[in-house]
């Protein structure tokens, strides 16, 4: 069973949304946000971040040090219907990938009857 709802999975699996923003915390306590490529990994129910030479990036070093990460994918449909998903979790470092194991999921605008509703929940992981 997935930590994501059916609407969240449809959002993650659909469209051309392949660029998201990842947030980490630097050694000085300051946040660091950067755009990155991603994919939903159904086998592990995780978000996998990739890119060129990911092992040499600040986000990789920050996650190695703290183990925490947040990730957002969003868009605005016309005329003004913002929707998206924020995933907070534990970062697992692989050779060429950062794998996010969700511990908290927040989504908005994914319910067809409530475009502005926000749904937040801890995943229990």
Please, what sign has the CA dihedral across residues 11, 26, 61, 2?
A: negative
pLDDT of residue 63: 98
Domains of the chain: 6-122 (2.30.110.10)
Q: Which long-range contacts (CB under 8 A, 24 or more apart) does 114-122 make?
A: 115/81, 115/83, 116/82, 119/5
Structure tokens of 35?
């755009």
Closest among 32, 30, 26, 21 to 100, alpha carbons compared: 21
pLDDT band, residue 14 (cuts 50/70/90):
confident
pTM: 0.90
């Amino acid at each position: 069973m997935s930590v994501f709802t059916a609407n969240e999975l449809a959002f993650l699996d659909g469209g051309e949304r392949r660029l998201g923003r990842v947030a980490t915390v630097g050694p000085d306590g300051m946040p660091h946000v950067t755009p990155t490529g991603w994919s939903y990994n159904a086998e592990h129910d995780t978000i996998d971040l990739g890119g060129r030479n990911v092992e040499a990036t600040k986000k990789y070093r920050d996650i190695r040090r703290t183990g925490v990460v947040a990730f957002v994918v969003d868009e605005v449909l016309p005329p003004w219907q913002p929707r998206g998903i924020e995933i907070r979790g534990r970062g697992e470092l692989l050779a060429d990938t950062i794998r996010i194991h969700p511990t908290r999921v927040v989504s908005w605008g994914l319910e067809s009857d409530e475009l502005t509703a926000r749904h937040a929940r801890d995943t229990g992981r």
